Amino acid sequence: MYDDMMKLKSEKSFTYVPDGSTLTEALKRTTHLAIGAHPDDIEIMAFHGIQQGLDHNSFTAVIAADGAGSPRAGKYQNITDDQMIATRQIEQKKAAALGKYNLLLMLAHTSKEIKNPKNSIIIEELAQIFMATNPDVVYLHNIADKHHTHVALALKCLVALRTLPKNKKPKKVLGCEVWRSLDWLSDKQKVVLPTSANEDLALQLCQAHDSQIAGGKKYDLGTLGRRHANATFFESTKTDKESSLCFAMDLTTLIHEKTLNPKKLIKKHLAILQKEVFENLVVPSMPKKKK
């Protein structure tokens, strides 16, 4: 039944079950599902989910793009797109093994295909994945991310989730940080995800993607640094309860409303931010001039 529902579209796609179980078993075990655009996005945005799956073998990762367009430097400067795709697949499988992922699905689409709003094939594929895994929690890119492919993929995921029967929709859909931090959200609107535990693993997962780090982007330092900054600067009048935090945007309402209106949700968050900022801007009175 489950295998019949998993007809991935690209000839370059593949599945990997680190513990050697069948695909059917891995799909059924899924409780936390993360869908990232590129190899290494999952390790940056969904470490909370990875942690949740460590003891239960229940975290499934989906990578939508093939990673061919990665910037290149150093020892990776002269490799071809096909070589980069192969390299990033190896790195992503290494991360999945290190993080004891339940299942890894690499869909191997191009960024152009993902960004095409008329491409419904990817939406159909994502809907099949959601149906087959039936997760409780879904981690997506946040819809205020500044990377166009990330936002396009998140929107395709939301459309796919809206097609599911009510009893198959996840309990929570979270938009996570990668190319735009979410510290600007009001504290009441933030979904706060503790990531203090297993920090050695968090670093190893980022460093598994050597083609990106050695290729000129210090994602390992940037990712853990942001999590520490989130924890340190979260509450100004209290001592820290966590040393590492990820923030997320709650996108759950978008899979239930009659029409998909992500702009309305973002406008709501921006209005709350504006209100909080303006309330603090009480200009003091000028001192009276002495006669």
What is the number of domains present in the chain?
1
State the pLDDT at residue 2. 45
Q: E-strand spans in 195-289?
A: 245-250
**What was the pLDDT predicted at 216?**
81
Query: What is the predicted pLDDT for the residue at 16?
Result: 96
**Residue 253 falls within a domain, yes or no?**
yes
The CATH number given to whatever domain includes residue 199 is 3.40.50.10320
Inside any domain, residue 109? yes
Quick check: is 285 in a domain? no
DSSP 40: T
Query: pLDDT at position 103, please?
Result: 97
pTM of the model: 0.94
Structure tokens at 218: 């210090």
**Domain contains 287:** no
pLDDT tens-digit profile, the chain (291 residues) = 445 457 888 888 999 999 999 999 999 999 999 999 999 999 999 999 999 999 899 999 999 999 888 888 888 888 899 999 999 999 999 999 999 999 999 999 999 999 999 999 999 999 999 999 999 999 999 999 999 999 999 999 999 999 999 999 999 999 999 999 999 999 999 999 999 999 999 999 999 999 999 878 899 999 999 999 999 999 988 899 999 999 999 999 999 988 999 999 999 999 999 999 999 999 998 888 876
**For position 5, what pLDDT does the model report?**
53
Query: Residue 289 domain-assigned?
Result: no
Give a yes or no: residue 291 inside a domain. Answer: no
- DSSP-assigned states of every residue in 210-266: HHHHTTT--HHHHHHHHHHHHHHTS-SSS--S-S-EEEEEE-GGGGTSSS--HHHHH
Residue 13 placed within a domain: yes
286 found inside a domain: no
Which pair of tokens denotes residue 197? 């535990």
Residues ≥6 apart with Cβ < 8 Å to 90:
none
Domain residues for 95? 3-280
